[in-house]
């Protein structure tokens, strides 16, 4: 039993669920760490998953939801009756509420919002209005703010009265605002303990606190917390009215999510994440949505070959080199794409600095093109003992490498300016263009040199 519950916890979980014993189920879940919980639940059948959530109280179900990844959580929540889903989501922190509801299809999300408590639903709706990769999108709406003319006594009374609600907040600071709701100061919680109770916040607060606008990017926030070691930063609208608080942990999490999305995007996994516990039809459809665009682009690129069928028939050895030139140019170009995406993320290059990137990549493309061209041309020469074949293949790969790295370096900057996702779009555009040019170069050179090739 011990071994089994470590190695295949979903089997034990299945048994506990089947026993219909809520206390035993809760006890078992507590023995699992977050990773184990996520793994075990992902292996349950749909009926077991439903039965699991039917047995748990909303509070315990919310803890389970916090353990699993966002995508997994959204899938679990989406199939529950809206009333039950709403009860669970009510228990979560506002930023997670908004993230989850954002992952769920909008109809189901609306149905759940209608069943949630009105205040929670309003908060969640407000947070959902911000793009996910901004300060507004990752802030929490649970923060403490008081008007600057309040006394210490008033604040302490309020904290005392609402202590159950506030206990759930990650509170390290207390924010102070003026009559119009504009942020004017900040106090640390322990600043409340020592002064006289009749003094007003205005006299005690640290004025002109640091803040960040709701539109700030994840990279802005990373830079902010790198520079200022704070437990959180207030988020304000364009009139410095306070909207929420961003915690450093959530910034790191958002940066990680961005990096994961980038990785999945360049590999052709669209629509967020894919787990093998998802229904086969969904997984297949999502992957095909990207593949079917790719096959059309591939057919367009390869049609260049069809134009040169006579050349190819006369010098059939060329057919061996076409897939090599296509693949190698793609590889060289993808390296440049990756470097540009990293430099954009780190803020080392800006989308308008295209000239700099092309300059840096073109010189590298010349060197690498020369090396790769000599390698491939040499291989062609050795194989067929034909220097013209070597020259045609080598020069074509050289020129195409130069093109591929320059284009690869540029594409992420250009796509960023066009507000397209470089991770998803760079690859297909790059390989289509470099394939067409590569096929054209090698086959048009071959046509010119045909008498000496065959």
Q: For its own copies, which residue of 283, 440, 444, 452 counts as binding (CB under 8 A)?
A: 283
The CA-to-CA distance between both ends of the chain, in Å, stands at 72
Stretch that binds its own copies, among 32-40, 118-126, 128-136, 238-246 (CB under 8 A): 32-40
If the CB atoms of residues 244 and 409 are measured against its own copies, the closer one turns out to be 409
Which one, 209 or 373, has the nearer CB to its own copies?
373
Q: How far is the CB of 107 from its own copies (least distance, A)?
A: 27
- 35 contacts its own copies (rule: CB under 8 A): yes
Based on the shown chain and the rule CB under 8 A, indicate whether residue 387 belongs to the binding site for its own copies.
no
- Toward its own copies, which CB reaches closer, 72 or 184? 72
Chosen residue from 138, 139, 246, 322 binding its own copies by CB under 8 A: 322
At 156, list the tokens.
Answer: 């302490």
d(CA 210, CA 228): 9
**Cross-sheet strand order for the sheet of 145-147:** 145-147, 173-177, 183-188, 206-207
Q: Strand pairing partners for 233? A: 246
Span from 10-18, 131-139, 146-154, 338-346 in contact with its own copies (CB under 8 A): 338-346
Q: Which is nearer to its own copies, 234 or 330 (CB)?
A: 330
Q: For its own copies, which residue of 12, 301, 388, 391 counts as binding (CB under 8 A)?
A: 301
**Residue 210 makes contact with its own copies by CB under 8 A:** no
CB of 340 to its own copies, least distance (A): 9
Tell me whether residue 69 or residue 108 sits nearer to its own copies (CB atom).
Answer: 69
Specify the DSSP class assigned to residue 347: T
Identify residues 41-80 at the interface with its own copies (CB under 8 A).
Answer: 42, 66-67, 69
- Please work out, in degrees rounded to the nearest 5, the angle formed at the alpha carbon of residue 11 by the alpha carbons of 260 and 71: 25
| 253 near its own copies, rule: CB under 8 A | yes
Distance CA 442, CA 436 (A): 10
Which string of DSSP letters, residue by residue, matches 135-184? Answer: HHHH-BS---EEETT-BHHHHHHHHHHTHHHHHTS--SEEEEE-TTSBEE
- CB-based contacts of 133: which residues, under 8 Å, 6+ apart? 217, 218, 254, 258
Identify residues 345-374 at the interface with its own copies (CB under 8 A).
346-349, 356-357, 360-361, 363-364, 367-368, 371-372
Regarding 150 and contact with its own copies (CB under 8 A), the answer is: no
Q: Are 408 and 336 in contact (CB under 8 A)?
A: yes
User: Is the Cβ of residue 129 or residue 300 nearer to its own copies in the bound state?
Assistant: 300
What would the two tokens of residue 372 be? 């790769």
Name the minimum Å distance from CB 357 to its own copies. Answer: 7
Going 126 to 128 to 134 to 138, the CA torsion angle's sign is positive
Neighbours of 183 (CB within 10 A): 21
- By C-beta, is 177 or 261 nearer to its own copies? 261
117 binds its own copies (CB under 8 A): no
């Amino acid at each position: 039993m011990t071994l089994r519950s470590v190695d295949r916890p979903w089997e034990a979980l299945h048994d506990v669920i089947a026993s219909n014993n809520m206390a035993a189920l809760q006890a078992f879940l507590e023995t699992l760490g977050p990773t184990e919980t996520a793994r075990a639940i992902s292996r349950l059948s749909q009926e077991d998953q439903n039965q699991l959530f039917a047995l748990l109280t909303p509070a315990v179900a919310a803890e389970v939801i916090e353990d699993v990844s966002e995508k997994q959580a959204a899938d679990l929540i989406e199939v529950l009756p809206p009333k039950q889903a709403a009860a669970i989501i009510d228990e979560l922190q506002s930023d997670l509420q908004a993230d989850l509801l954002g992952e769920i299809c909008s109809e189901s999300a609306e149905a759940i919002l209608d069943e949630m408590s009105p205040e929670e639903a309003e908060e969640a709706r407000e947070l959902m209005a911000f793009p996910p990769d901004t300060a507004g999108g990752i802030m929490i709406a649970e923060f403490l703010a008081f008007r600057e003319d309040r006394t210490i006594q008033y604040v302490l009374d309020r904290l005392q009265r609402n202590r159950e609600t506030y206990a759930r907040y990650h509170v390290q600071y207390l924010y102070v605002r003026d009559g119009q709701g504009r942020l004017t100061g900040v106090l640390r919680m322990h600043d409340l303990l020592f002064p006289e109770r009749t003094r007003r916040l205005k006299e005690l607060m640290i004025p002109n606190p640091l803040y960040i606008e709701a539109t700030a990017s994840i990279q802005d926030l990373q830079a902010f917390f790198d520079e200022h070691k704070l437990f959180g930063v207030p988020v304000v609208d364009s009139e410095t009215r306070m909207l929420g608080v961003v915690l450093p942990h959530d910034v790191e999490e958002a940066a990680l999510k961005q990096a994961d999305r980038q990785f999945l995007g360049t590999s052709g996994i669209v629509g967020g994440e894919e787990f093998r516990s998802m229904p086969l039809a969904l997984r297949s459809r999502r992957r095909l949505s990207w593949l079917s665009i790719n096959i059309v682009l591939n057919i367009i690129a390869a049609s260049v070959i069809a134009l040169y069928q006579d050349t190819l028939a006369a010098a059939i050895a060329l057919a061996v080199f076409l897939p090599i030139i296509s693949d190698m140019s793609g590889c060289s170009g993808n390296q440049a794409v990756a470097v540009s995406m990293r430099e954009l993320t780190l803020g080392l290059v800006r989308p308008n600095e295209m000239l700099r990137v092309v300059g840096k990549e073109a010189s590298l493309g010349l060197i690498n093109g020369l090396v790769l061209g000599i390698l491939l041309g040499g291989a062609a020469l050795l194989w067929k003992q034909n220097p013209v074949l070597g020259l045609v293949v080598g020069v074509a790969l050289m020129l195409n490498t130069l093109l591929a790295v320059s284009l690869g370096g540029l594409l992420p900057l250009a796509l960023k300016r066009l507000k397209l996702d470089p991770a998803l779009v760079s690859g297909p555009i790059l390989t289509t263009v470099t394939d067409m040019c590569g096929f054209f170069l090698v086959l048009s050179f071959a046509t010119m040199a045909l008498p000496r090739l065959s």
